[in-house]
Chains A and B, each alone.
Chain A
């Protein structure tokens, strides 16, 4: 039997060939024949293909202008390569500039995508995002849900997130926008501008949050919210975090992520304050954890979990 090592070596050669450009007809046939010889061959190829795709994100994730990125890798790169890079700065390919990319997630799903300009977008549960990179602007529409953006710095091409209520404009920063209850903006690094019907209505800096209600009224603009922002971004790790919210609020939050809903049966239970990190997609686990710390019982009822006050003995 062909060893895994030999298969991997051959798979690597095929991957390098694919990486060089589209295969010609003869090569494509040879590749198919090779794959057909043993199922593990395609497995080895797909695995290396995934490694290659992961590496492609290195450039995108760095999200820095070429010169800065170069200095990062500089000690690792030969001098000739460094000089070559200095002479040929990277430019955006035309097709990257003109196409609109659509991303969406269903309830309970999350998705992360690197954009061709080096920015990163992460979609939370039940979210829709459309991205259009133009020569003079990077435009993102967020018709539904919540997303976090790590924007590659580019002063000449502002990064604008359009929501129903307002536009959020950045040049290079890390922030999240949630449209589930009006508009909530949380800025982790840098600053963004909130623009409504062409008028600048707020500048939101690092560690600040900004909230509008569903009708577009500004309800809060708070500074020093780093802890809260960190909690709100717990969804990126598949978790939700609470720090003293009522169980009613916590259930609402958890229900954004799941078809299996958490229901609260009585006012006493709804008023309990909860804290801690919970897996976003595990309503039962959440209910069981509460049973351990509070006088409540959880019952599974079809596609919901009902929490009620534990009858006193």
Chain B
């Protein structure tokens, strides 16, 4: 019943911070982690068949391990440390699937925080489009913006929300709160 997007939102996205922390601990650089995360999503998407997976956490970590191992093989520079760390990437380290599940209230708080962090106009677009669920076209009309501008805000905001949900500790991805709020007032007068 769930679409690909819903399935990934429910089961994979919540695991991403853990996957990133893990890869960093295994010695991969920040840039390499970005590559590996995209590659992992690509593989999970290719394998996704619309069904439920009994233990998403174990499944995701097994996939990450394979992606990382392939990457090492491709690099042909096999440092002893990397190999040792990869073999330590044990699926059970991911902890029980339950840990990735948020209660409805926690999830709502997290999403609200993500939206609140967006800069002014972008935030207004997200509240209408995602909280109120109106179309992009109607969002443009209500806010008096060109549709192409709304589309740009959606693209930009989605990356910022993604960063907030999956690497909240990454300072570079956080807009300064105060300036964002000032922008909101200016942007809507």
Binding site for B on A (CB under 8 A): 3-5, 7-9, 12-13, 15-17, 19-21, 39-44, 46-59, 61-62, 66, 69, 72-73, 76-81, 84-85, 88, 90, 101-103, 105-106, 108-109, 111-113, 120, 150, 236-239, 279, 282
Contacts and interface: CB of A to CB of B under 8 A. Distances in A.
B69 interface: no
B95 to A, nearest CB: 10
A85 B141 CA distance: 12
Contact of A16 (B39, B115, B137, B158): B158
Interface residue SS majority, chain A? helix
Contacts of A90: 132-134
Given A46-B42, A85-B128, 8 more contacts: A20-B136, A43-B42, A51-B161, A54-B13, A55-B130, A55-B161, A61-B107, A77-B123
Contact of B52 (A57, A79, A109): A109
A62 B131 contact: yes
Interface centre among B4, B13, B46, B98 (most CB of A within 10 A): B98
B159 A85 contact: no
Given A40-B39, A78-B187, A279-B98, A56 B45 contact: no
Contact of B142 (A40, A84, A238): A84
23 contacts: A16-B158, A20-B136, A43-B38, A46-B4, A46-B8, A46-B45, A47-B13, A47-B162, A51-B165, A53-B8, A54-B9, A54-B13, A59-B132, A76-B116, A78-B189, A80-B189, A81-B127, A81-B143, A81-B188, A113-B1, A236-B101, A237-B98, A237-B101
A44 B41 contact: yes
Contacts of A8: 34, 38, 159, 162
A50 B165 CA distance: 11
Contacts of B159: 8-9, 12, 48
Contacts of A53: 3, 5-6, 8-9
